[in-house]
Amino acid sequence: MPDQPAWWTRAVVYQVYPRSFQDSDGDGVGDLGGVLQRLDHLADLGVDVVWLSPVYPSPQADNGYDISDYEGVDPTFGSLTQLDELIAALHDRGMRLVMDLVVNHTSDEHPWFVEARSSRDSSTRDWYWWRPPREHMAAGQPGAEPTNWHSFFSGPTWTLDEASGEYYLHLFSRKQPDLNWENPQVRQAVYAMMRWWLDRGVDGFRMDVINMISKEVAPDGHLHDGPPLPGLPYGDGSASFLCGPRIHEFLQEMHREVFAGRPDRLLTVGEMPGVTIEQARLFTDPARAEVDMVFQFEHVGLDFDESKWHPRPLRMRDLKASFGRWQAGLADVGWNSLYWDNHDQPRAVSRFGDDSPRFRRDSATCLATLLHLHRGTPYVYQGEELGMANFPFTSLEQFRDVESLNHHVQAVAHGADPGEVLAALRRMSRDNARTPVQWDTSTNAGFTTGTPWIAVNPDHLEWNAEAQRADPTSVFAHHRRLIALRHEDPVVALGDFTMLLPEHEDVYAFTRSLDGETLLVVCNVSGHEQALAELLPQAGAAELVLGNLPEDDPALLRPWEARVLRVR
């Protein structure tokens, strides 16, 4: 680490998913005008950084993660002028703006791809991955795809371009063709675009699936099949594209070309599904100049059986082991993001907490305490600070997400029971995180005066920002205290981490220590009382710094009670 700890060790990031944050023009879709109207909410919460999910021009096949112009704003979301206003308004309030950088793929409607597709000799043909059908097979025949890889959004990762008889690669939907980072022109075009945004005043990037940009290619240009997936005619190609052979070279080059010599107020976050701790250390070792922190997925996969669509209850021991390994693995080098929720995950209070009326507030605040007291940079996803919960989906028509809809088609085509598929979607769909932010009790929760693009959760009458801002015991108020604590107490930002009671299923406890100061964090992650004095006698003499329930018997932890204690 450099002499001074980086500013982002003390920072908290707030993710805005603009489509669902606040609509300002009544078209039912959130927009930049809406974000500008709600800056007081963010300032009151005390967050340091706003990560804005994509607002670029896009056909919206994946809600903006399919970009057709990297240097503009989609009219649905507003204008570049409003984005400039947002940068200025956030800076005025001491906050920074981090943009989403989606450069593993573009939209198929991006001019680069339109040109690439126009002929085999087009000037940008090699900017994407084109391959002929599998040997001895006819183009378009099932199984003729160049590799057997299964797309993140169901089906094959290859789509045939009839005109040229070649397939193009898309790890995500067919409307998201993968860029070929082997081609130096692609890399330079991306770096130029990134510089353009930094020159405009943005403070960094959250880099979408950035560990997928380097693919393993055989010397003859072939890509390799992956091991077959149970019950599907596809294989798992991830060994060929997760942290591929040139990934560190690419990120170091990006750093040199884009970030070197810029002020250190910038933030770079690498979203990296499947990254290992060993790889994460390399990516975030400051001496290597790649990215500031990783955003990894191990803990949000612990409740999957064979896939996210076959969820099982989370075992607390597994979560402790995972978090503990990451804390230890990045203790001396590197940095991690801390999150429960984002726009791709079901709501944490429904998934890891208990969203029944009795425990919703207490479990939401308990989970928040547990997370924010770890070492790393905490992320609050819009609505998480209000304890927003999963949506009570009852029919397929209520879903909007391409991942959910494609999964339904594929699973049913392969013989799954539609009722069971719907039940899995209800639990795991990304749309759970994408319902509008609940601002107040008015129609559509104050999100829009029009018809919202996805239904508002009916529970907004009780769970909304207006009510919580007035209530010192609310989930919102608790988040505000947690964020303030990280700002004030260097132990929270930088202290060493030690896991306690690693095998205990119901009590999650750890210490953080720095320069002779120790914080003891104890969280009852169950609906039953726990005998704290017996489990952790040292808690008895400790001073309460912050708790999520009114002070009571120090020897007991009530259901979902969380305490941060100072041990002298």
Rounded CA gap, 206 and 83, in Å? 17
Binding mask 406-435 for ligand ISL (x = CB under 6 A): ------------------------x-----
**268 Cα distance to chain centroid:** 14
Torsion angle of alpha carbons 486, 491, 493, 496, nearest 10°?
A: -150
Judged by CB, which is closer to ligand ISL: 108, or 344? 344
Catalytic residue among 23, 145, 161, 271: 271
Judged by CB, which is closer to ligand ISL: 406, or 449? 406
At closest approach, how far in Å is the CB of 343 from ligand ISL? 6
Rounded CA gap, 394 and 253, in Å? 48
Rounded CA gap, 384 and 449, in Å? 23
40 belongs to the catalytic site:
no
Residues in the interface with ligand ISL (CB under 6 A) total 13
Judged by CB, which is closer to ligand ISL: 152, or 181? 152
At closest approach, how far in Å is the CB of 212 from ligand ISL? 8
- Ranges within 330-349 binding ligand ISL (CB under 6 A): 343-344
- Ranges within 86-145 binding ligand ISL (CB under 6 A): 102
Q: Please, is 472 exposed, middle or buried when counting C-beta atoms within 10 Å of its C-beta (0-12, 13-18, 19+)?
A: exposed
Judged by CB, which is closer to ligand ISL: 283, or 439? 283
Paired tokens of 506: 């119901």
At closest approach, how far in Å is the CB of 197 from ligand ISL? 18
Nearest to 57 by CA among 48, 66, 49: 66
Rounded CA gap, 119 and 32, in Å? 38
- Strands 507-514 and 377-381, bridge-based pairing: unpaired
The identity of residue 47, as a single letter, is: V
Rounded CA gap, 547 and 37, in Å? 32
Q: Which of 59, 72, 273, 311 binds ligand ISL (CB under 6 A)?
A: 273
Judged by CB, which is closer to ligand ISL: 308, or 372? 308
- Ranges within 53-72 binding ligand ISL (CB under 6 A): 62, 65
Say whether residue 172 binds ligand ISL (CB under 6 A).
yes
How many CB atoms within 10 Å of residue 357? 9
At closest approach, how far in Å is the CB of 537 from ligand ISL? 42
Rounded CA gap, 338 and 486, in Å? 13
- Ranges within 137-156 binding ligand ISL (CB under 6 A): 152
Judged by CB, which is closer to ligand ISL: 15, or 24? 15
- 333 contacts 281 by C-beta, under 8 angstroms: yes
At closest approach, how far in Å is the CB of 430 from ligand ISL? 6
At closest approach, how far in Å is the CB of 361 from ligand ISL? 27
Q: Which residues pair with 526 in a beta bridge?
A: none
290 belongs to the catalytic site:
no
- 87 contacts 39 by C-beta, under 8 angstroms: no
At closest approach, how far in Å is the CB of 103 from ligand ISL? 10
Judged by CB, which is closer to ligand ISL: 272, or 482? 272
The identity of residue 341, as a single letter, is: D
- Strands 377-381 and 337-338, bridge-based pairing: parallel
- 15 contacts 379 by C-beta, under 8 angstroms: yes
The identity of residue 352, as a single letter, is: F
Q: Please, is 85 exposed, middle or buried when counting C-beta atoms within 10 Å of its C-beta (0-12, 13-18, 19+)?
A: middle
- Ranges within 188-217 binding ligand ISL (CB under 6 A): 208-209
Q: Which of 175, 308, 434, 460 binds ligand ISL (CB under 6 A)?
A: 308
Catalytic residue among 48, 62, 208, 355: 208
Footprint of ligand ISL (CB under 6 A): 62, 65, 102, 152, 172, 208-209, 273, 308, 343-344, 403, 430
Active site residues: 208, 271
